[in-house]
Structure 1
Amino acid sequence: MAEYEARRTAVLLVDPYNDFISEGGKLWPRLHGVATEVGLLDNLRKVVAAGRAAGARVVFVPHRQWEEGDYEGWDHPNPTQRQMQQRHTFARGTWGGEFHPDLRPRAGDVVAKQHWGQSGFANTDLDLQLNQHGISHVIVIGVLANTCIESTGRFAMELGHHVTLVRDATAAYSAELMHAAHELNGPTYAHSITTTADLVRALDATR
């Protein structure tokens, strides 16, 4: 299990929107099975609470909130962006585009600029924010395991950060995608792949 120095550690909470993780959200029916099986919401709450209690930085890594005109005229929007264009996922000014009520920023948290694709780093200020706060270790949680979590975690590794993935504090649309994210792809870039219970114990040890 990795060891963490709280002042150099950040919990990266990726895309905790109602449309993803709340009953009634546009994407919740697709995520519901895996999210319920792993206890996603409870584990997200636990990791964020443990991070705050230990003195780690909590950083929100939000996807672009859809607005009228997004992706129109683009040469090659990706399939997810096409779906957002059709569904108006995470639309700005709507309930679905708000963060889950239990996972909202507090004083001292950082909210990075919104990412357009899958990586929380590409075309945002996330790298700047982590560097300015002296962060070396990142704990990546949220959704989806095989897209934004993987892209953000892999990019963090490329930038020289120590990366922790938390198996049961993320979810995907199927068990197969979770297997790929944690068993096949995760070990190629993550320094630690753990569970919420073990991570909370490790963070508690820093206090």
Structure 2
Amino acid sequence: MKKALLVVDYTVDFVDKEGALTCGEPGIALEEYIVDQTAAYLKQQLPVFVINDLHEKNDQYHPESKLFPPHNIRGTEGRNLYGKLHDLYTEQNEEMIWMDKTRYSAFAGTDLDIQLRARGITEIHLMGVCTDICILHTAVDAYNLGYTIVVHEGGVASFNAAGHDWALSHFQNTLGATVLAK
């Protein structure tokens, strides 16, 4: 079974203490794990996708504009990968696949499914933020597309602790995903 790592929304706006829609300390605490796992996947020559939210300034028609403050705006610092993951991407950007998304799921409106199938990928490993939003919606779409799903508990976080815990249970009990313990 061929696998790929999907790092979802690990950006300045979602992680940094000053980010526009930050999960703060829970997200910051993931940094070493995400960077170490990303480096390990690259060393094994396994595909690594960094899939990041993209919004346009003053887009009143995007459904999230009614739910959340502006975040991950095109051309802003907030869209950059957070911390050491940004450094790793800068060093390894030819080996890592950057993908923009405009909805919660990494599959919605992107060619992620095509990219994965072209590489023979049948198992996806998920890390990033937020567990109960973008990771959850990506996992649901992956389930519906027939992928085997692995969620790294040490690599996901949310600004909503109850939502985070619920999502971890949902991954296992409803989507049949493997949740790798911290």
SS at match of 1:102: helix
Q: Say whether the 8 Å CA contact 1:164–1:190 is kept in structure 2.
A: no
Report Cα offsets for 1:49-103 as digits up to 9, x if no partner.
Answer: 2211222110111112x22342x3x3xx43x33245xx33112222112122422
Q: Choose the corresponding residue for 2:132, options 137, 142, 146.
A: 146
Larger relative contact order (Cα-Cα within 8 Å, sequence gap ≥ 6) = 1
- Percentage of identical aligned residues: 24
1:57 and 2:47 equivalent?
yes
Q: Would the aligned equivalents of 1:34 and 1:175 in 2 still touch at CA under 8 Å?
A: no
**What is the TM-score with the length of structure 2 in the denominator?**
0.87
Change (3 A) 1:187 1:46: farther
Are the aligned partners of 2:42 and 2:95 in contact in 1 as well (CA < 8 Å)? no
Structure 2 gap ranges (5+): none
Cα distance change, pair 67–35 in 1 and its aligned pair in 2 (3 A): closer
* Cα deviation code 1:108-144 (max 9, x no counterpart): 22122x2222111011111111111111110011010
Equivalent residues, number: 177
Structure 1 position 11 matched with structure 2 position 1: no
How do 1:105-184 residues align onto structure 2 when only pairs under 5 Å count?
105=89, 106-112=93-99, 114-184=100-170
Alignment of 1:91 onto 2:76? no
Q: Secondary structure at the match of 2:101?
A: coil
State yes or no: 1:25 paired with 2:15: no
Contact 1:44 1:141 in 2 (8 A): yes
Contact 1:21 1:41 in 2 (8 A): no
Tell me if structure 1 keeps the 8 A contact 2:16–2:24.
no
TM-score w.r.t. length of structure 1: 0.77
**For residues 186 and 41 of structure 1, do their structure 2 counterparts lie closer, same or farther at Cα, with a shift above 3 Å needed?**
same
Change (3 A) 1:101 1:184: closer
In the aligned structure 1, how far is the partner of 2:40 from the partner of 2:65? 33
Q: Distance in 1 between the 2:170 and 2:142 partners? A: 18
Q: In structure 2, what is the Cα distance between the partners aligned to 1:108 and 1:99?
A: 15
**Which structure: larger Rg?**
1
